[in-house]
Structure 1
Amino acid sequence: MSRPLPRPRLRSTAAVFTTLSALAATSLVTGPSVAEPLSVLPCALKRTEAHHSEGLDTWNTAYPQPDRNLDAVMIFLSFPDWAPMTSPAALAADHFPATSDYFRQASYGRFTLTAHPLRQWIRMPKPSTAYAIRRDWSAERRAAYLRDALAAADGRVDFSRYDVVYFVADPDAPGVDSDATKVVNMDHPLRADGTDIRRIVTVFEQHPPDRLVLAHETGHVFDLPDLYRRPTDGKGDWDTHVGDWDLMGSQFGLAPDLFAWHKWKLGWLEQRQVACVPTGAATRLTLEPLSAGPGVPVTGALGAPAFGLGNGTKLAVVRTGTGSVLAFEARGPIGNDRSACRSGILVYRVHNGAESGRGPVEVIDAHPRTEACWQESVYPPLADAPVALGESFTVPGADVRVEVEGRTVTGSWTVKITAA
């Protein structure tokens, strides 16, 4: 689901409790869980039955894997109780090419999302108010909306040609709630043009929309979980788990590139780019900046632009249990992370059995007594979470220590990780 824009900060993180209402609730139900081998490295967690499990030893083939070109159709829905005030072309431009650009950069050019927006409105058979659209939408009303939308569009769209389906509602129609944007997964797929449609992105965003909201929703189409924390009482901060550090936590984040763990899961990192750190000894390694890839400039050790990164080690992993690991990656203000508040080695826990929205990833704060970028960050206490150059950090609750020893002339980070 989309989240309202953050309000201006007052003086400190006390103002952040309204940091944003929910981003995107994922799906109704899960599809069939068919396994396809993905990783054989010993530090790869096994995929579990948890919704959008962070396990990555196998790929759930109920989801399209974004390791090739995928085609997405954008269908614009109008309603008989309102005349659209915005053109389909303008709404398409709200999301593309920004969404495609994000994934192209995040995947190091390994994945292309090609949008095919319709040029005309498709008229729904019922008024916008008839569907009772809202965040916690009833399954019955939501199913009626999807059935009507699919039937209305079927004569103009060959659904067999597309991997991703976006139903974009007229944002100005009186019954449209911008808080209701989400991905709907169906236990029993809809069928059109001889194709099973197992998931649809229902877009109810305002015009212009929240930044990167469609990229977040599309992440769910690729089996990525929500990383924000949704308070059960509706109060408190949504961003305590990962802060700014992954798009699946917040589309407003200063450093919204996907975690290296997610890039590994999606097939954008090769096995040789992941270092499984053994226990009982110190391991020295060089980590490339996560967002560095072909054509992306990186500031080297001497302050000059450095190019040519993208094929080195991006992720170091320490196994901490049968279903958990500690992950280490280099983050800084380049690429999708160009607005990052701080640079350094980001440390986070991954749990393969945690459900989407229930803390499958938790960033560990290397500077728990300070905060940073309180006017821009979605959660300033984690904005300065990375271990900076020259610092060392022992992970609380784990006998694992990371020391950031230096930078190379090409901008990579040299680290020592000691796991007892």
Structure 2
Amino acid sequence: MKALAVVVMAATALAMTSPVPAGHFGPGAEAGAGGPPAAGDTGGRPPSGPCALPGATDNVSETARTPPGYARSSGTVRAVTFLIDFPDSPATTTPQARYAEFFPAVADYYRASSYGRLDYRSTPVLRWIRMSRPYAAYGIERGTPFDAESDDGYHAIAAEILDAVDDTVDFRRYDLINVLVTPGAGPPATEDVRSVTFAGSPTGLTTADGAPFKNVSFIWSRQTGDSPFRVLNHENAHSFGLPDLYYTGRGAALLKTPVGHWDPMDEDWGPSNDFLAWHKWKLGWLAPAQVRCLDGPGVRSFALTPTSVPGGLKLAVVPVSRHTVITLEARTPGPLDHAVCRSGVLVTAITTTMSTGSGPVRTADATPGSKGCYTTDLNVNAALSDAPYTAGQRYTGPPGMTVDVLGEDDEGDWQVRVRTVRPRASDGARD
């Protein structure tokens, strides 16, 4: 969520934890176990080719390839989920009820968004783990880091969790760690969002099995909207290597979100929304044939199948420099896209060298100055809700690039024509 304090520590060369052997389900029943992708499926590959741009490699970023140390994001991914409360804020519901706020919904969402290429399985430890001190004694605020030298904060909480479960949980079997905090601890999400992920590098804690305690998400309070579980989808996506798309720096509260409700890494509150096609490619959810790289001059026409529909061409990428691309995708209302009120072709500019929280992705607005078409929920950047380009509209990008949206065909695909008059910039070009 918005309070990603120390989103990611520098990635290390450590390999991910080993998978669980078939038939082993750890300390509790798994949620979200699903079938494998269809036979012959060619997704699950990291992006490659001239449109798979390099960039930042020591943190979450829009760089096509995620560095070592983060969790894998396709195939079977296993999480272990703990629940904690505090002596001055004891849980008022059962661990089963708190867990059910997120599962199987989180797994179902990932399965749908990835077109079955991410089989997310969560194993819960269904008991409240009571912390030793009152909530305030840990000094948890928005922006609190994971300080391995500290006797309070997230380091102290994590150490107490390990002390409670380390003799029964084999952490080598899991890719992700989730900590669901009793909602009464700390302010409500409408006042201060504190959910946070520490991903990439070990946190300084090592389990009894020798596994590093990392890729861990802490979920506080309860979120608003028709799919409040998505705060965990957002946090886990940091462990998969995705950055925050909203602004986090000084004065960020006064700035509009740069992407809007077109990706949960920007707005993961309010109505449901799906991931950008670029993120789906980065996470290994698109097969090579579903991505078209327009890395040379010419005029190309093709049809984009909406994100909400499995199969078809999902993403067109136009490189404009070594670290910047323009992307095209079709967005329509769907099971995960509840706020789409104007169907069409979404155009985004993506920079792979910009850090998390600094606006690495920006949505091009086909209706500048408009108040938007989805204006009933303050959690949605209304001005960008009607950003897609529709039939007859033209996007004019960097010099020599135009995109003409020809319209929606009888199959529901969006026909576009892209014109570029110069090749991709050389490696020495500046963004």
1:142 paired residue number: 154
8 Å contact from structure 2 (residues 332, 342) kept in 1: yes
2:241 paired residue number: 223
1:160 is paired with a residue whose SS is helix
2:417 is paired with a residue whose SS is strand
Q: Deviations over 1:283-328 (max 9, x none)?
A: 10111111211xxxxxxxxxxxxxxxx1x21111111101100000
Note the residue ranges of structure 1 that are not aligned, 5 or more in a row.
2-21, 294-309
2:391 is paired with a residue whose SS is coil
8 Å contact from structure 1 (residues 404, 415) kept in 2: yes
1:318 paired residue number: 318
Query: How far, CA to CA, are the matches of 2:223 and 2:283 in structure 1?
Result: 30
1:191 is paired with a residue whose SS is coil
Q: Deviations over 1:154-181 (max 9, x none)?
A: 2342222221111122222469986221
Alpha-carbon distance, 1:264 to partner: 0.6
Alpha-carbon distance, 1:81 to partner: 3.1
Equivalent of 2:94 in 87, 95, 101: 87
Alpha-carbon distance change, 78 to 40 in structure 1, aligned in 2, over 3 angstroms: closer
Structure with the higher strand share, 1 or 2 = 1
2:375 is paired with a residue whose SS is coil
Alpha-carbon distance change, 176 to 149 in structure 1, aligned in 2, over 3 angstroms: farther
TM-score by length of 2: 0.82
Alpha-carbon distance, 1:255 to partner: 6.1
Q: Deviations over 1:203-259 (max 9, x none)?
A: 2123889451111111111011000113513541351x1011101001126562111
Query: How far, CA to CA, are the matches of 1:246 and 1:273 in structure 2?
Result: 19
The percentage of counterpart residues that share the same residue type is 33
Query: How far, CA to CA, are the matches of 2:318 and 2:223 in structure 1?
Result: 44
2:260 is paired with a residue whose SS is coil
8 Å contact from structure 1 (residues 128, 175) kept in 2: no
Alpha-carbon distance change, 228 to 287 in structure 1, aligned in 2, over 3 angstroms: same
Equivalent of 1:263 in 261, 273, 280: 280
Alpha-carbon distance, 1:149 to partner: 2.1
Query: How far, CA to CA, are the matches of 1:86 and 1:402 in structure 2?
Result: 53
Alpha-carbon distance change, 255 to 201 in structure 1, aligned in 2, over 3 angstroms: closer
Q: Deviations over 1:114-144 (max 9, x none)?
A: 1222221112222222101111215332222
**Aligned AA (1:181):** S
Alpha-carbon distance change, 35 to 73 in structure 1, aligned in 2, over 3 angstroms: closer
Matched, 1:171 2:188: no
1:406 paired residue number: 407
8 Å contact from structure 2 (residues 15, 69) kept in 1: no
8 Å contact from structure 1 (residues 285, 416) kept in 2: yes
TM-score by length of 1: 0.84
Matched, 1:335 2:335: yes
8 Å contact from structure 1 (residues 134, 180) kept in 2: yes
**Aligned AA (1:149):** I
Alpha-carbon distance change, 403 to 137 in structure 1, aligned in 2, over 3 angstroms: same
Query: How far, CA to CA, are the matches of 1:254 and 1:365 in structure 2?
Result: 20
Q: Mean alpha-carbon deviation: is it higher for 312-321 or for 163-172? A: 163-172
1:60 is paired with a residue whose SS is coil
Q: Aligned Cα RMSD in Å? A: 2.5
Q: How does 1:140-289 map to 2 (within 5 A)?
A: 140=150, 141-173=153-185, 179-185=193-199, 186-192=201-207, 193-206=209-222, 210-233=228-251, 235-239=253-257, 241-252=258-269, 254=271, 256-289=273-306
1:77 is paired with a residue whose SS is strand
**Aligned AA (1:118):** V
**Aligned AA (1:382):** L
Query: How far, CA to CA, are the matches of 2:142 and 2:171 in structure 1?
Result: 27
Query: How far, CA to CA, are the matches of 1:174 and 1:211 in structure 2?
Result: 18
Alpha-carbon distance change, 113 to 136 in structure 1, aligned in 2, over 3 angstroms: same
Alpha-carbon distance change, 50 to 260 in structure 1, aligned in 2, over 3 angstroms: same
Alpha-carbon distance, 1:188 to partner: 4.7
Aligned length: 380
8 Å contact from structure 1 (residues 229, 358) kept in 2: yes
Alpha-carbon distance change, 44 to 198 in structure 1, aligned in 2, over 3 angstroms: same
2:250 is paired with a residue whose SS is coil
Note the residue ranges of structure 2 that are not aligned, 5 or more in a row.
17-44, 422-431
Alpha-carbon distance change, 40 to 28 in structure 1, aligned in 2, over 3 angstroms: closer
2:69 paired residue number: 62
Query: How far, CA to CA, are the matches of 1:226 and 1:409 in structure 2?
Result: 36
1:292 is paired with a residue whose SS is coil
Query: How far, CA to CA, are the matches of 1:227 and 1:385 in structure 2?
Result: 17
1:335 is paired with a residue whose SS is coil
Matched, 1:46 2:62: no
Q: Mean alpha-carbon deviation: is it higher for 279-288 or for 217-226? A: 279-288
Query: How far, CA to CA, are the matches of 2:128 and 2:167 in structure 1?
Result: 13
